[in-house]
Amino acid sequence: RRIFQSYSATAGNIEVSIASEARGSDGCGCDYPSYVSRDVVARSDAIVKQLGQEAGGMDPELLFWLRGLRPFTNFCIGGARVAIMHGDPHSLSGWSLAVENLETSPEEFRRRHGSQKFPTTTLRDAYDWMRAANADMFACTHTCLPFAQRIHHGPARSFKAIFNNGSAGMANFSGESFGLITRISESLDVPRASLYGCEIRGEQGSVARADCLPVRFNHREFVDWFLKIWPEGSAAHTSYFKRITSGPSNYTIQDANRL
């Protein structure tokens, strides 16, 4: 209880789904694009339905807090304007900021993810969305894979960027096990653990620094805990166990770093 009273938080589609009166029975609310298989969608719906059933026994105060979370929030950090969202600027669970939908992703990469026919987000699109939101940076998540993309449009030395952290509690790169968070600071010093990062320079000359940092934890203990709740054959095991133990296939830090 002290945690949710002490920190700012925003809603994701899972929080909205399990805290609703339907308790997740209406689906996960992930709004998966058409290139995601029906089996993945069905498993996600099953996972959230089970989470919703568990939420029925939650502290009513916690449920009330979940229902009050905003889908977006804004911070001014070091004078840079940061828009924090779960999905994209248009939707709580939007996919226009998924790495496979960026114009900077090679055609082979998009084809591997099945997204080559999905609308492409150009750097110009992203810049225009940031201008409309009065933001110098988008910090997002939701779409499974992490990345950081610098946006080059705009006045000279005005560097906008998108940072997607992928997952804080699950592996993000092939052969790795750590989670990721996006750190945004008014200090321009590069954190020792930074995997990649850049300065965010607003149009008025304001500066902040954003970095992707690993979240390291006792992986063996986490796997044991996961298997107790989601044993082999369960929806979550089928969808996530391989990623938890060995990371997503064919995705590296170099793929994510577009700065």
pLDDT of amino acid 154: 62
> 129 vs 37, 153, 162, 192, 208, CA distance in Å?
29, 12, 11, 32, 20
Q: Write the CB contacts of 115 (distance below 8 Å, at least 6 apart in sequence).
A: 33, 35, 98, 100, 101
Which pLDDT band, with edges at 50, 70 and 90, does 220 fall under? very high
Query: pLDDT by residue (tens digit) across 141-167?
Result: 999 999 999 997 666 666 899 999 999
pLDDT of amino acid 4: 61
Query: pLDDT by residue (tens digit) across 170-211?
Result: 999 999 999 999 999 999 999 999 999 999 987 777 789 999
Work out the average pLDDT over 110-129.
92
Structure tokens at 173: 């790169």
Which pLDDT band, with edges at 50, 70 and 90, does 76 fall under? very high
pLDDT of amino acid 103: 94
Torsion of CA 13, 17, 19, 22, to 10 degrees: 170
E-state strands within the chain: 72-77, 80-85, 137-140, 147-151, 160-164, 179-185, 196-201, 207-215, 257-258
Ramachandran assignment for 129, one of left (phi > 0), alpha (psi -120 to 50 degrees), beta (any other): alpha
Half-sphere exposure of 24 (CA within 13 A, CB side): 22
pLDDT of amino acid 60: 85
Work out the average pLDDT over 250-257.
96
Q: What is the pTM of this model?
A: 0.93
How much of the chain is in helix, strand and coil states, percent to nearest 5?
35, 20, 45
CB-based contact 228:248 (threshold 8 Å) = no
pLDDT of amino acid 1: 54
Rg for the chain (alpha carbons), in Å? 18
Strands of the sheet with 207-215, listed across from one edge:
179-185, 207-215, 196-201
Grouping H, G, I as helix, E, B as strand and the rest as coil, residue 246 is: helix
pLDDT of amino acid 61: 85
> 11 vs 68, 89, 125, 248, CA distance in Å?
8, 14, 24, 25
Question: For a pLDDT cut of 70, what percent of the chain falls above it?
Answer: 95
Q: Which among 237, 235, 229 is positioned nearest to 45, based on CA atoms?
A: 235
